[in-house]
Amino acid sequence: MKNKILNDPVFGFINVLEARLIGIIDHPFFQRLKRIKQLGLTYFVYPGALHTRFHHTLGATHLMGLAINVLRSKGVEITDEEELAAKQAILLHDIGHGPFSHALEHSIVNVSHEDISLAIMQALNGIMNLETAIKLFKGQYPKRFLHDLISSNLDVDRLDYLKRDSFFTGVSEGVIGTERIIKMLNVHDNYLVVESKGLHSVENFLIARELMYWQVYLHKTVTIAEQMLIKVLKRAKYLAMKGEKIFATPALEFFIYNDVSIEDFDKKVKINGTDMTVLQAFTLLDDYDIMSAIKVWAFSDDKILSELATRLLDRRLFKIAFNDTAYDFYSLKQIESLIAKELGLEENEVEYYFINGKIVLPKATSEDSEIKILTGGKVVPLSKATEILNINMFSKSAEKHYIIFPAEVRDKVLRLL
């Protein structure tokens, strides 16, 4: 097959549909990413946030190609085989995401998307050569800088999703100088570094990242919607494990009625009369499975499942309150009692209507993987080179504790705090 170009809404015409990558892109495992939204339920707040993980992975692959060309132009040796492996790895880095990724990981499939991505890569290795790509993905390849391009504090994954998510949400604070940063990349002592002329672009990148976290990824309404989705899925699984009949598509039904760990992914199962592995069953799941089920669960005989599903579909979301520190045990117990009384709930049912947790914005960079600035032939950690960024971005994670509860008890709950 000849190379083809793709019209990407963020980067324009990009050449990622090259013949040697088409085997991955055309594979059903990868095509599934078209049916998984990049930002989950963020469209509850930003209606344009309907782009998919398919969009994102192709964009990141485009940036990988640009970065490799820049490094080669500066004398860094990267073979054609290494270029292919790097593009394969970035194409597949998100392939383990399930529908509404983090909600699914915390409710039905108790396996991280990173572990599933690796399992899928290893499965695909049997039909296409991904040995080097897997080593790059795991950070086991001698050229460390190639792994840095795939997974680090300044990888092409982040360079794409910040710009792409900013574009589709309309949050201009997330706009970053992707092209400028890539032009300033270099390699020093086998590590990916940024030349000093790109310092301000990197500073802007980290500021944009923090703003996008608070305004988009950790937005209060997005947090509420995702936590309500988790509760819907947990209620469905609870009823299923009690032996009740729960509507679901064949693949979703398997995961609702079974507890699955990463060790189970090689096991053979029968889905809708077809023999396959648990891993293959997982790759049948997408956003449509979850939303189809929720639409049916809204009419469930189970009051809690029906109400939570209906609230989510109709966007009648719970309310949220924040605190800088964890809520004290006594206050939480008082609120639980209040909600149980006001809504007529049993003690074991309150957990579906009252959620206590925290959101965490990870620090911009950890000590062992801090972005490195190349200046005067020497490498300086970004925290030592910057005069703009707050030192707290490097030293600690930002946390906000929250409680989530139904809107109808809002005033009474707030009086107890």
CATH at 155: 1.10.3210.10
Two tokens, residue 82: 């290494």
CB 146 within 8 A of CB 49: no
DSSP alpha helices (H): ranges in 242-389? 250-257, 278-282, 287-297, 303-313, 329-343, 382-385
| Through-space distance between the first and last CA atoms of the chain, rounded to whole angstroms | 64
Residue 86: which of 67, 112, 73, 113 has the closest Cα? 67
Rounded Cα gap, residues 355 and 417, in angstroms: 15
CB 121 within 8 A of CB 130: yes
List the beta bridge partners of residue 274: 271
DSSP letters along 354-370, please? -EEEEEEE--S--GGG-
Two tokens, residue 91: 């194409």
Task: Output b/e per residue, 242-257; b: 16+ Cβ within 10 A.
Answer: eeeebbbbebbbbbbe
Rounded Cα gap, residues 30 and 46, in angstroms: 26
Residue 280 lies in a domain: no
Residue 235 lies in a domain: no
Segments forming the whole domain that contains residue 208: 4-218+363-396
- β-strands 378-381, 372-375: how paired? antiparallel
Q: How many domains does the chain have?
A: 1
Residue 316 lies in a domain: no
Residue 410 lies in a domain: no
Q: How far is CA 82 from CA 64, 124, 283, in A?
A: 12, 18, 27
Q: How far is CA 186 from CA 84, 130, 209, in A?
A: 19, 26, 22
Query: In the β-sheet with 319-323, what is the strand arrangement from edge to edge?
Result: 319-323, 398-405, 355-361
CB 193 within 8 A of CB 374: yes
This prediction's pTM: 0.94
Rounded Cα gap, residues 70 and 185, in angstroms: 7
Query: In the β-sheet with 378-381, what is the strand arrangement from edge to edge?
Result: 185-188, 191-195, 372-375, 378-381
> Locate tokens 């988790």: which residue?
230
Per-residue pLDDT of the chain (417 residues; tens, 9 = 90+): 667 889 999 999 998 888 889 999 999 999 999 999 999 999 999 999 999 999 999 999 999 999 999 999 999 999 999 999 999 999 999 999 999 977 888 788 888 889 999 999 999 998 899 999 999 999 999 999 999 999 999 999 999 999 999 999 999 988 999 999 999 999 999 999 999 999 999 999 999 998 999 999 999 999 999 999 999 999 999 999 999 999 999 999 999 999 999 999 999 999 999 999 999 999 999 999 999 999 999 999 999 999 999 999 999 999 999 999 999 999 999 999 999 999 999 999 999 999 999 998 876 655 557 899 999 889 999 988 888 887 666 666 778 999 999 999 999 999 998
Two tokens, residue 318: 């719970």
